[in-house]
Structure 1
Amino acid sequence: MALTASLGHSAFLQLSTSFYGDTSPSSSISTTFPGNQSFSRKQFVVFARKMSGLEEARRIKRERELQVVKKDRKGPPLRRGKVSPRLPVPDDILKPPYVGSDILPEMGTEYQIHDSEGIAKMRAAGELAARVLNFAGTLVRPSVTTNEIDKAVHQMIIDAGAYPSPLGYGGFPKSVCTSVNECMCHGIPDSRQLQNGDIINIDVTVYLNGYHGDTSKTFFCGDVSDAIKNLVKVTEECLEKGIAVCKDGTPFKKIGKRISEHAEKYGYGVVERFVGHGVGTVFHCEPYIYHHRNDEGGCMVEGQTFTIEPILSMGSTDCITWPDNWTTVTTDGSPAAQFEHTILITRTGAEILTTC
């Protein structure tokens, strides 16, 4: 389940490109930026390279936004259907601490780093989430409602002795997120029937033995256009490329760089508002995993678990959230796709936990 980020970048992003002080050539030149922050010539070169990479990303984004984007979509814009009441969960199933309150939990500040017992429980939660997601995907076909998918997912999760993590999280009324066509994420299952040519992201999180496993995938409903198929294909590739850079000691910012590079090759935008997150005994916690170019600090640590969940759009990466405070759609109605895995950082790479 994606987390909404307050996108405050590192300090240098707010600095003016103008600088003050003596600019005469000298081997010991020191450049002073606003805020009285000084840089040597060598440090300034590093700073400038960071700025140039991010400025290039901004330039690409501006060019995309100026283009007239063809919205490869059939039928009317997405509209909310009827939302049925929450489904019950047996009393004997262990529930997360946020259940019973409609207040959105605060973001956890502790990284989820596990010992061997914790890793085993994360693997079990991830494997169950993956099985549930695969089952949910078999239900996708024209005329099926997203509410029917939610009901089936709910039953499978509680039959396994687990709790559907989205249910009751900050007041979310359902057990799974179903995001159709232009819906970026957090779609609430309802009475709307899926149509031929739709795409749907199903986002499953389970709480098993005190640990969350979180995963999502975008599925095709019936006959989908080649253009949208390509969007979905590239989005999944972006997830794979983000995971491929992960290992102990790697800076988190490499994930966003690799994802952005791949998306831009095909002219797609990477949504910045929603990020991956640490996950384990806590549903959402630090670190934030940015999927776009960034210069946030921090490095991965062996034994750590978090999600990577890029969202790509065929058009605008800006979004509007519906009055339900969850459903978020692209401003121009362009299709969007998302894929997500929970991963475990190892000494030499990353283990995908949400597989079966």
Structure 2
Amino acid sequence: MIYLKTDEEIELMRISNQLVAKTLGEVAKAIRPGVSTLELDKIAETFIRDNGGTPAFLNYQGFPNTLCTSVNEQVVHGIPNDAPLQEGDVVSVDCGVLLNDFYGDSAYTFPIGEVAPDVKALLDATKESLYKGIEQAIENNRLGDIGHAIQSYTEERGYTVVREMVGHGIGKNLHEAPEVANYGRKGNGTKLKSGMVIAIEPMINLGKRQIVQEDDGWTIRTIDKKVSAHYEHTVAIRKGKADILSSFKFVEEVLHLQSEK
């Protein structure tokens, strides 16, 4: 069952997603070599609660933390821990918030200090593929148009698309129908209607596309232990142009200021 949102509900979802965006901005201020993902998790939980929200992932189906922090070959659902991040690492930080009865969800992959050129290129291509997918997230297109845009952009550059993990509808539930794959064929799949709200989240690998689950029951990593990148926006389907409810603005303001130092 796909729930179409009213304009009023979409505006409530925008508020939820802007809190996610600001939380990721707070993470950006602290993220650097020597900081642990558990420290980042505490910053995020405190900021969300101080702003009237509830961490969406904490205790969701038993997940133990506020953030999913997936380092290097970890694709998604990494559990924060006290190991310090190292120069040259990358870490996907996925954050969800419940506010005003609606969920927000967004993810950003951060480079830690200077990263290898091939890793930086993967991050850039994955983020760009997210926007290629969003360009297709308009009324009367189909889900396959989104997946095809992401898949074709990344595979042309020699990367691989994770198949088993997908984006999703979002609203009063963190995960709703439909599933939003990052691969597909043009013109295939569910027709997009104005009022649908979906989380688009390409997960793109430097090496093979296959993944495995770690023994913790949560963390997904690449089978060949090569780096993976992950970016996510929550988007409302509209006529002509998608409405991005989440934002990377706060993250990128911080990263830009740090790079100028």
The reply to whether TM is greater than 0.5 is yes
Matched, 1:113 2:4: yes
Q: Deviations over 1:315-335 (max 9, x none)?
A: 011111112111011111100
CA distance in 2, matches of 1:266, 1:297: 25
CA distance in 1, matches of 2:179, 2:6: 22
Shift of 1:228: 0.3
Letter of the 2:129 partner, please give it. C
| Equivalent residue for 1:267, pick from 136, 158, 168 | 158
| Equivalent residue for 2:212, pick from 297, 320, 341 | 320
1:1-356 matches, cutoff 5 A = 110-294=1-185, 297-355=189-247
Contact preservation (8 Å) 1:140, 1:220: no
Q: Which has the higher contact order (CA 8 A, sep 6+)?
A: 2
Q: What percentage of aligned pairs have identical amino acids?
A: 36
Shift of 1:138: 2.0
CA distance in 2, matches of 1:209, 1:332: 42
Contact preservation (8 Å) 1:112, 1:281: no
Letter of the 1:256 partner, please give it. G
Letter of the 1:302 partner, please give it. S
Q: Which residue of 1 aligns with 2:259?
A: none
> 3-state DSSP class of the match of 1:188?
coil
CA distance in 2, matches of 1:112, 1:221: 39
CA distance in 2, matches of 1:297, 1:119: 23
Shift of 1:296: 5.1
> 3-state DSSP class of the match of 2:235?
strand
CA RMSD of superposed structures (Å): 1.1
Q: What is the TM-score normalised by the length of structure 2?
A: 0.92
Q: Deviations over 1:240-298 (max 9, x none)?
A: 10001111111110011111111112100011011000001111011010101258521
Contact preservation (8 Å) 2:88, 2:113: yes
Which one has a bigger Cα radius of gyration? 1
CA distance in 1, matches of 2:71, 2:51: 27
Shift of 1:311: 0.6
Shift of 1:112: 3.0
Contact preservation (8 Å) 2:145, 2:188: no
Q: Which residue of 2 aligns with 1:38?
A: none
Contact preservation (8 Å) 1:177, 1:185: yes
CA distance in 2, matches of 1:113, 1:129: 22
Aligned length: 247
